[in-house]
A and B are shown apart, each in its own frame.
Chain A
């Protein structure tokens, strides 16, 4: 099993450009998440999808949109990139069923630089 995969691994954008970060999981998990990691800030939740067909905002959703395309895939879109969005982005998934312990599995990350 590949687990959680993310593309691209690295990306450089100019201010104002748009892009979509792709994430897929092959563990038949119900829940998926997008986090960003910044120095000294730990990981902060951008958006999550508790189950297919639902999405909810996290701690830092401004400037982002998400799409839960199907049970496997959860994409993150930056419509107009800003330098403040320079970060490392991690996708994660969890079983999400009632009674599960919410152990989350992480992808390798996308390192995004906005100039």
Chain B
């Protein structure tokens, strides 16, 4: 069945450091891929998405590229801020109306 594996955290960085959070997936067909972010005490917010191979999703300085050949969707940001401290979830989706499959989440902590 479909599954998502993302790197375990916590990830601790200093402000302005480069961020990579790895995400790989197993899926049949051509899923859509998502990164969600959860700030402390809040629900999940969509950070970015990619719906087909080689698509690059981007938002708020974060980027991720849908790599079908390596079944990956790694999240990157060139310069993190303290306000980026949150839990990040990689997810995939099959057809409309079906549930998202989530990774277990990666906690990012950024210090000034």
A19 within 8 A of B: no
Alpha-carbon distance A107/B43, docked complex (angstroms): 6
A42 touches B49 (CB 8 A): no
Q: Which residues of B contact A44 (CB under 8 A)?
A: 102
Q: Which residues of B contact A2 (CB under 8 A)?
A: none
Distance (Å) between the CB of A112 and the closest chain B CB? 15
B97 touches A106 (CB 8 A): no
A94 within 8 A of B: yes
Distance (Å) between the CB of B108 and the closest chain A CB? 15
Interface residue range, chain B: 20 to 34
Known: A108-B42, A108-B43. A102 touches B93 (CB 8 A): yes
Alpha-carbon distance A102/B95, docked complex (angstroms): 7
Interface residue range, chain A: 20 to 34
B100 touches A104 (CB 8 A): yes
Alpha-carbon distance A101/B34, docked complex (angstroms): 10
B45 touches A33 (CB 8 A): no
Distance (Å) between the CB of A45 and the closest chain B CB? 4
What 5 new A-B contacts, CB under 8 Å, besides A102-B97, A105-B46?
Answer: A41-B104, A44-B102, A50-B97, A98-B96, A101-B32
Distance (Å) between the CB of B20 and the closest chain A CB? 19
Give the residue of A45, A48, A51, A90 whose beta carbon is less than 8 angstroms from that of B43: A90
Query: Interface digits, A1-31 against B, CB 8 Å rule (1 contact, 0 not)?
Result: 0001000000000000000000000000011
A53 within 8 A of B: no
Query: Interface digits, B79-108 against A, CB 8 Å rule (1 contact, 0 not)?
Result: 000000000010001111111101111000
B44 within 8 A of A: yes
Q: Which residues of B contact A58 (CB under 8 A)?
A: 99
Q: Which residues of B contact A41 (CB under 8 A)?
A: 104
